[in-house]
Chains A and B, each alone.
Chain A
Amino acid sequence: MTNTLHRFGTPDTLNNDFIVFAMAAKGFNEQGALDKAKAFLRAAIKYQPINMGNALVNSLYRPEKDLTFIKLYFVGRQQKTTYEKLIDEIPGPGSAAVVFDDPNKVKNFVRDVKQLDLGLSINISALVDDVRNICGEVEITPHAVEYTLGFHGDTSRLPERDTLSLTTMCGHGMVSANFAKKMIDRVKEGRMDPQEAACCMAKFCVCGVFNTTRAMRVLNRVKKGQ
């Protein structure tokens, strides 16, 4: 799972995009990892992450499998579940991820996680210098760094940059280029607002690492033809 490593964008557009995730190592510390992962996610609630997820149960934003005509047209759509419900639903150990759009929240959350001393591996995917600044402020010495070197090979098969900025926020490729393009077009045509389109795309990213704030930023910029 490298699902947060290859987000496309310039440093300017990748700003304020932080994914913090906890993971147990198979054969080393998976015993009791479910409760620890839940403790990790519960600690994040205080800082109101913009997304959260675990690949076993889906993210905060999720499809509704029980829509009816009445529910759809008279009650309205339910775009996301609650933090507590998501955490309670997690059935077994797996990675647990939270997404923030504010470095101060990340800093305070990481400080709390350090104090919790869960023993799980904690990683942050973001601009590396921002992570190093946070590590300095909470007095953590990083153990390892993994850099993305970007996309190579037959890159002529890739979509244009705004579409790619949206699709690569789900590293598993569940937000397809055609769907992201459809959302861009709907926003440009005034048929959907950026928030609605961002939430719609987030439902396809089951691990909960899609950054809706950044998606809205991209969509707002594209809407204005920038």
Chain B
Amino acid sequence: MKISKERCVGCANCVPICSVGAIYIGDDGLAEINTETCVECHNCYRSLSFEHLQPGLTRTIRRVLKKMSLRFQPDPDVCPTEAFIPDELSWPRIVRRAFSDPMVTHESTGVHGRGTEEVKTNDVSHRIKAGDVGVVIEFGRPGIGVYFREVQKATMALAAAGVVFEEGNPVTQMMADRAIGTIREDVLDEKVLSCIVEVTVSLADTAKALQTVKQICRAAETVISIGVSTVCNEDGSEPLREILEREGYQTGWAKVNLGLGRASNASISTGGTRS
């Protein structure tokens, strides 16, 4: 992302809305983007409203008002002169946008943003089987960001613990060697708003896997959000909650798949797999 020096009037409305704090007012009084910090989420370009004021006239008015100790202050969600210019991104920088902009479909999964379908479509896909636990470890969330070089430290630790990485996951797709958890060299210095590492373990190994995740968290330089999922029994109960509470985790907020989905594409035609 770029900010046009010709169009920007230095109102600074874009400074706080940046998801990673990459926008600042430079020495010339106009907004700039720290391209190393920017994760190309396009939040500034997409979500600020644009008022089409004439930049030269607006700057003059701002200067005059300033002399009278008054301030030109557009609504906090408005860029008064439409000063943002999206860049044409090339590899490997385009990886930043694929993982950071929720309106971009990730090529490897067909899902918007950085994630996967996880357990949300499990009533149809059955990617997590009965007796298994899906663990999603999201690096950089909420609102901190992460470099893939740091994510690699975690994926290597997980690989050493013998976990199986989820196939349909964007980070797995970028691994150079899944057996040792290395990520391709050319993206290691790319920063993203967050990315999710997904592994599957057996219910019996859940506590052990969470211990490994805890060790990863202790060494992390970013924030990590953890989610764990399992398939319910026929009566709707599930054994995971008890395990989690025994491990000292609170289990208030959750996402519940109601089991109303079914496979229906013509090529599959299973006639329904409702659980």
Interface residues of A (CB under 8 A from B): 1-9, 11, 14, 21, 23-32, 55-56, 63-69, 72, 77, 94-95, 110, 113-114, 117-128, 131-132, 135, 140-155, 157-159, 164, 167-168, 171-174, 176-179, 181-183, 186, 200, 203-204, 206-207
Q: A55-B113, A149-B244, A178-B21 are in contact. Are A206 and B254 (CB under 8 A)?
A: no
Q: Within 8 Å CB of A186, what residues of B? A: 76
Q: Within 8 Å CB of A32, what residues of B? A: 264
Contact partner, B223, options A68, A69, A152, Cβ 8 Å: A152
- B232 to A173, Cβ gap below 8 A? no
- B142 to A168, Cβ gap below 8 A? yes
Given the complex of chains A and B, what is the CA–CA distance between A82 and B109 in angstroms? 31
Main secondary structure of the interface of A (DSSP, over half): loop
Given A5-B253, A25-B261, 5 further pairs, Cβ under 8 A: A6-B138, A63-B48, A68-B51, A69-B53, A77-B49
- A200 to B258, Cβ gap below 8 A? no
Q: Within 8 Å CB of B131, what residues of A? A: none
Beta-carbon nearest neighbor of B270 in chain A = A28
Q: A28-B268, A143-B275, A145-B229 are in contact. Are A176 and B16 (CB under 8 A)?
A: yes
Interface residue tally for chain B (C-beta within 8 Å): 96
Query: A-facing mask of B114-141, CB < 8 A → 1, else 0?
Result: 1111111111110010000010101101
Return A18 CB to nearest CB of chain B, in Å: 11
Given the complex of chains A and B, what is the CA–CA distance between A183 and B120 in angstroms? 33
Q: Within 8 Å CB of B35, what residues of A? A: none
Q: A123-B255, A147-B227, A149-B227 are in contact. Are A25 and B117 (CB under 8 A)?
A: yes
Beta-carbon nearest neighbor of A4 in chain B = B255
- A178 to B230, Cβ gap below 8 A? no
- A167 to B43, Cβ gap below 8 A? no
Q: Within 8 Å CB of B113, what residues of A? A: 1, 3, 55, 172
Contact partner, A23, options B18, B77, B120, B139, Cβ 8 Å: B120
